[in-house]
Amino acid sequence: MMRNLFITSTAVFWLAVAVFWVADLRYVDGTGERHSVAVERTWTLEQVSRHDRAADCWMAIDGTVFDLTAYLPQHPSNPAVILPWCGKDASTAYRTKTRGRPHSAYADRLLTTFRIGTLIAR
């Protein structure tokens, strides 16, 4: 029984992976990229600091402002790690992941999709 379970589940798994792959290929050919922000805006740190909650979370990272509200549920770590940075300049935290390790190139690309403007001094 365990043997059949192994064979069946492995086959279904690879089939599902193949479906996701093909769907991605077709999607890129058809509709193209994710949303991008059309209007570039500027924000002060004071304005950013008003968005300091899980339900409304902005962060400034390396001079760019991001609205990460929609992304928070997808972040791999415990929310307690990322939530305190809502409404703040999180450049160092992003670069070090609070443990001296940078985010991946994928994370960098993902981050740009949440960009809402640039940070200005005042």
Partner 1 sequence: MRPLFIFRLPAALVVSAAPSVVLAVVWHAASPITLPLWRDIAIVTGWLGTAMLAASTVLMIREPHLARLLGGLELSYRWHHRVGVLAYLALLIHPLALAFGGWAQSPHVAWESLAPRPRGWPVWLGWGALILIMIGLAAAFARQLPYRRWRGLHALLGVGVLLGFSHVWVMLGEPVPLLAIVAIGVLALAWRVLATDFGLAALPYRVTSIARPAAGVIEASVAPCGAALDVMPGQFVLAAFGRNSNYAGCGEYHPFTISAIEAGRCLRMTVKALGPCSHRLQSLEPDAIVRLQGPFGSFLSEPHDRPELWIAGGIGITPFMAALRAEPRSTPTTLIYLYRATSDAAFLEELERLAQTDPNFALFSEATGDRTPTVDALTARVPRLNECRAYICGPPAMVDAMTRRLVELGIALRHIHYERFDFRS
Q: Residues in the site for partner 1, rule: CB under 8 A?
A: 2-3, 5-6, 9-10, 13, 16-17, 20-21, 23-24, 26-28, 34, 54, 72-74, 76-79, 81, 83, 97-99, 104-106, 109
Rounded to whole angstroms, how far apart are CA atoms 81 and 83?
6
User: Residue 70 has which token pair?
Assistant: 């929609």
Helix (H, G, I), strand (E, B) or coil at 57: strand
Residues belonging to the chain: 122
Q: How far is the CB of 70 from partner 1 (least distance, A)?
A: 9
Q: For partner 1, which is the closer residue by CB, 27 or 41?
A: 27
Q: For partner 1, which is the closer residue by CB, 36 or 106?
A: 106
Would you give the distance in Å from CA 81 to the centre of its chain? 14
